Structure 1
Amino acid sequence: MTLGNHLDNFWGILKKRELADSTLRQRGLQIGYIKDNIGDLLLSRVTIKDVAGMMDSYVHQGKKATAVKLRQILNDAFNEAIVAGHIKDNPVTPTKAPANKVSRSRLIVTKYHQIFEATGDQQQWVKNMFDLAFVTGQRRKDLAAMNIRRQLPWPVRVNYSGSLDVTA
């Protein structure tokens, strides 16, 4: 059995996990990347060097986050192969996940005003949502999930990531 064949089986396992549609789409793409790189190797013959080489190729392209995610998927897939009795050891375990530093850009007040003015003749609620997003630090997804209590907006963070940083 090749790694590519096992990843096809693993895809079926992922579908049973009831992941969100967008997550499942991403996993499908990522499994495709793995199959393109090392999918032709026999499952029992995949080495630490093969896994590290694939991850290094993404790191050298400046895609550390992709390398980290591919490592996670491979680790999970090999653990499933162990459970199924196809292999005894996980070649991903000894590899080290590349450190991924997330860089965030900050919204400057002057840029916000330019964006706000570009809304032009939009309905008032659009401008209100821009203001609310700016003042509260809420993302589009957070605003869409907002509850209304006593006719006042009640922001609920979907993913908490810290405080709002406003620079002049």
Structure 2
Amino acid sequence: MNARRRSANRKGFPDNLYCKVDGYFWYRNPQSNKTKGLGRDRAEAFREARLANAALLEMGRSSLVDWVTGKPQVSFGEWLKQYEPLWIKRESPAQSTIRIGQIYLADFSRCDFAWMPVDKITAQQISTYLESLEGVRGAATMINMRSRLSDVFRTAETKGLIEAGKNPVSVTYSPEYNPTRDRMTLENFLLIREKAVPWLKNAMDLALVTGQRRDDIANMLFSDARDGFLYVAQRKGGGRTKLKIDTNVHLTAFAMSIDDVIKQCRDNILSKYMVHHVRHRGINKPGDPTSPQGISDAFRAARGFANVLPGEGKTPVTFHEIRSLAERLYKEQYGADFAQAIMGHKEAKTTAIYDDLRGTAYQEVSVK
């Protein structure tokens, strides 16, 4: 293919440098097709364009060592396509996690350095990209995207695409995130609980004494409680975190044990679910499980009836905040290690709190 003929008015111009009729110079990145203005200083524009072209040439050239060793040259955009199935196979994430991850990966594929070889991307480029995310999407989303981006490069390390220990994300700034949601107090919990329908009371009580998430509460079966233990395979993370919680664990501040709450969930309705409908409602009939969204909706209604209002600058408490309350109460009663263990947190220490069975079985959580 013949190179495009250079117009007479661009004679002597560096490649990829252009000038508007008003004398304003601009540069086009041939890899990303993005443009950048360079002002009207001809000498400075020429210098900048030549430096940029040299950098492009250097980034696009495979070294002799890479050729001899057979090291692959893969662009960041190409690597993202390879990374996605590897990540899903390795972690077996929940569908909601997959959807969010795919949104993040699609965003990464549109960044300025998507065309570059993975091993040529610098921490400065990553930092600039992440700072732009914080400005547009906020600190919370930026933190999540930074975490995913870090795993993208960490996986590239395992495949030999970048040198071990050279993850460009690891040295970048991660902002502090100050959530605006109001904190659940035991007092507010009891006020909302007083206005809750019976099945919501059961859901709230289970969440408080077990410390588990809304989705796990909604899917908890009576058969999960056996031989003095409650077995929970946390749905977040695809069930990889498995807990075997002693049902004799007693939350003093609430004056109930896990076994007490499980017994409370049993009523005259035949159901295999601990939290279930007790009357016909729409397409649901007595005994059917309540959905996670149904729990949230009922909690919101009870919160309104209880007139529990958020503090200034805060958003109202949600059902999920019961988990945070449980962690604080158990930490106060039994210590941080126990609180982390019953939550299923990875940082929980393998002391007398629970027995780590290498992820193939359930981790026992009890007071010893």
1:152 and 2:264 matched: yes
Deviates more, 1:68-77 or 1:131-140: 131-140
State the Cα distance separating 1:33 from its structure 2 match.
Answer: 1.3
Alpha-carbon distance change, 143 to 76 in structure 1, aligned in 2, over 3 angstroms: closer
Q: What count of residue pairs does the alignment treat as equivalent?
A: 151
Alpha-carbon distance change, 57 to 40 in structure 1, aligned in 2, over 3 angstroms: same
**Aligned counterpart, 2:325:** 162
Alpha-carbon distance change, 36 to 133 in structure 1, aligned in 2, over 3 angstroms: same
**Aligned counterpart, 1:127:** 197
2:171 to 68, 75, 94: 94
Q: Does the 8 Å CA contact 2:202/2:264 hold for their aligned counterparts?
A: no
Normalised to the residue count of structure 1, the TM-score between the two structures is: 0.70
Matches of 1:137 and 1:13, distance apart in 2: 34
Partner secondary structure for residue 36 of structure 1: coil
Map of 1:1-168 to 2, 5 A cutoff? Answer: 1-17=74-90, 18-38=92-112, 39-88=114-163, 89-105=166-182, 127-133=197-203, 140-148=214-222, 152-153=264-265, 160-163=323-326
Q: Which blocks of at least 5 consecutive residues in structure 2 are unaligned?
A: 1-73, 226-261, 266-273, 276-319, 328-368
Q: Does the 8 Å CA contact 2:203/2:218 hold for their aligned counterparts?
A: no
Greater relative contact order (Cα < 8 A, sep 6+) = 1
Q: Which blocks of at least 5 consecutive residues in structure 1 are unaligned?
A: 117-125
State the Cα distance separating 1:106 from its structure 2 match.
Answer: 6.2
Q: Does the 8 Å CA contact 1:75/1:92 hold for their aligned counterparts?
A: yes
Normalised to the residue count of structure 2, the TM-score between the two structures is: 0.35
Matches of 2:84 and 2:206, distance apart in 1: 39
The structure whose residues are more often helix, as a share, is 1
Q: Does the 8 Å CA contact 1:14/1:24 hold for their aligned counterparts?
A: no
- Name the Cα RMSD after superposition: 3.4
Task: Indicate the percent of aligned positions where both proteins have the same amino acid.
Answer: 22
